[in-house]
Structure 1
């Protein structure tokens, strides 16, 4: 850790000088009215979870699995995608994860953020890479839970329903939901039992599995406060920038994603309500060339994965500036090409990415985003932070 090594120093719960979030909170509250009534990302954070039985066993219900029973909180945790691994991490169980997609990549990316959480450590390096998991490996891992969506595993084509049920019955339950990412269609076998959840609704269910409801409640309160701060201070629509979210490893063929797509992949930008720059004939996941990007000509260009140590943001900006068409982009001319983190974000990355996106889109309101090129999430002075890092860290480590 570079700036948070001292985990024993007491931090006062109330600062002598107001922070930016204090000023935003009290200023925006005067004009907020009932603006939050339609904010879907706040919905469902107080829903009731299943009750334990007399013998100490308990169950949690979530689509597409239905009711899943547990004798005790799981210890070893299999995951595929990082929104589930990030939930385990938020509950202080990140180092109990034994498998995930691209573990070395996501270990490096997640640790760009843990650098700013005092006392929090995470090591996902060299785990089993589980994008298309081998059934025999699941027997070898003997996980207490498969924190993964069985419908999404079934959709891989290498697993049939018999395989899914066998692992459920002889190793441990499946518990996950992935098609809520952008409300995609699950395989036909699962369609009649599927439901879509927000990121934080999913997190609430996962927290109930691990009997960590109090940790969830504490983090959900921080999330709700952050969303309220954002919602109360958003400028009128006519003053909001246009934006595009793009994968830019190859600027001649860029994957693009619409900002208003439902699902948790856009849970860090949708609450900020920027104006989508892409035309209606372009769908999330499509590729466009530089001429297509100029046709959209966003005020802000978000570079997916730009926070990864493997991504060279300086090179991306230079390539855009040196490109015959790219140099004409408004975002390039005004130096508003920004790094983003991960779309399959867990709750902690969601907090950081809400803050960074707010600063990138509305610096006059939420404070300037530092001129980031590489390294961990930038240091932001305490009075400019939109949520308290130590408070989050203490919830993860159990010190609160």
Structure 2
């Protein structure tokens, strides 16, 4: 931020947050190489209900730490109240932990907020005001000074892939404003920039969520939501064992063409499709490749999942595909098994809803049918049709754990 003397204030003013031992050295962030997958400590019992899941309380009661590659270990004196994010999975995590009001920015808040509101409609008492959030994709550094965040809940390595950023910029923001804490290249297991290559570690979506929970001192909320997910996965796995072979499925984004994304393989963007182990009709097509309708006809999927389809534009998206003069020969179109799914980069809230919707879309005999959807809020299923407990999720987010 701009200090009262007209310059940028040093991070020494922010005594309750510091960046552990991580510093730029030889082009790399030191402090990451010795971290483990589960290293983190959490606040003492007076401010945190569950300290056993990821570590023990620090001996200095007012401080606690969290560790995540590539950021390293970050120490806190209290949960951050002003939080910068870029990619959606980190914003989703803050919301899931009951800290949605702390967000000051994210990538495309208007567009993604509109989609998330369709889900939050089904979670009593959970809402987010997206209107005041800055759009933080490739921001100028001055934007971060103006936001004056307590933590930058984003991957510092990802930031250096943006046109306006390099490693020195990331280090300046760390020392002058607040630390970085996030992991985004796990989305596709992308190769990190050279400055980070030797230190980078990939995680699952829920592993990252557990680390972020330690930042906010919200282990109890995390554990409650993790239990919901565990029950949902057990139910899905049980149903799949009793089912016939999964349908041949294609997943793509329909935006001025067909942009293919894999169903299976590593990466957080496949956290909601990988568990079904469905046969991918477009498995031989590299991720993010654009194909024409002839390529889709040749693959002939029995089910089509349209990324980013959930939302008010679904009917026009669907109609554009169905109106293509040759698309009618595709099995999924012929049998009307073309379905919307949410966004690829979502976090735990999106993950729970996406697991449910895809289970119903791929295995209606086991999990109940996905209803006709015209672009409104997420469908309102009766309690016996729901694959996870909405009340438990809302209660966890609202702090009733």
TM-score of the superposed pair, with normalisation by structure 2: 0.85
Q: Is 1:166 the equivalent of 2:139?
A: no
Alpha-carbon distance, 1:290 to partner: 0.4
Select which of 283, 291, 296 maps to 2:294. 291
- The match for 2:268 is 264
- The match for 1:213 is 219
- The match for 2:326 is 325
What is the 5 A alignment of 1:61-210?
61-210=67-216
Cα pair 2:209 2:348 within 8 Å, conserved: yes
- The 1-side partners of 2:386 and 2:58 are apart by 39
- The match for 1:351 is 352
Name the Cα RMSD after superposition: 1.8
Cα pair 1:50 1:58 within 8 Å, conserved: no
Select which of 227, 237, 245 maps to 2:251. 245
Alpha-carbon distance, 1:322 to partner: 2.5
- The match for 1:34 is none
- The match for 1:255 is 259
Indicate how the Cα distance of structure 1 residues 289 and 224 shifts in structure 2: closer, same or farther if over 3 A, else same. Answer: same
1:349-375, Cα deviation, whole Å (9 max, x unpaired) = 110100000000000001111111210
SS for the counterpart of 1:276 is coil
- The 2-side partners of 1:49 and 1:338 are apart by 42
- The match for 1:273 is 277
- The 1-side partners of 2:162 and 2:56 are apart by 31
1:203-256, Cα deviation, whole Å (9 max, x unpaired) = 000000110001000000110111111112214786111111111132xx2111
SS for the counterpart of 2:84 is strand
- The match for 1:302 is 305
- The 1-side partners of 2:135 and 2:81 are apart by 19
SS for the counterpart of 1:108 is helix
- The 1-side partners of 2:55 and 2:267 are apart by 22
- The match for 1:334 is 335
Cα pair 2:104 2:132 within 8 Å, conserved: no
SS for the counterpart of 2:78 is coil
Cα pair 1:301 1:338 within 8 Å, conserved: yes
Cα pair 2:138 2:163 within 8 Å, conserved: no
Cα pair 1:320 1:327 within 8 Å, conserved: no
1:316-356, Cα deviation, whole Å (9 max, x unpaired) = 33333332221111110111110111111110111010000
Runs of 4+ deviating beyond 6 Å: none
TM-score of the superposed pair, with normalisation by structure 1: 0.85
- The 2-side partners of 1:390 and 1:273 are apart by 29
Work out which structure has the larger RCO, using CA pairs closer than 8 Å and 6 or more positions apart in sequence.
1
- The 2-side partners of 1:50 and 1:74 are apart by 20
- Gaps in structure 2 of 5+ consecutive residues: 1-36, 39-51
Cα pair 1:85 1:100 within 8 Å, conserved: yes
- Gaps in structure 1 of 5+ consecutive residues: 1-42
Cα pair 1:76 1:143 within 8 Å, conserved: yes
Indicate how the Cα distance of structure 1 residues 232 and 238 shifts in structure 2: closer, same or farther if over 3 A, else same. Answer: closer
**Count of aligned residue pairs for this structure pair:** 353
Cα pair 1:106 1:124 within 8 Å, conserved: no
1:107-137, Cα deviation, whole Å (9 max, x unpaired) = 1110000000011111112411001021111
Indicate how the Cα distance of structure 1 residues 101 and 114 shifts in structure 2: closer, same or farther if over 3 A, else same. Answer: same
Alpha-carbon distance, 1:308 to partner: 2.5
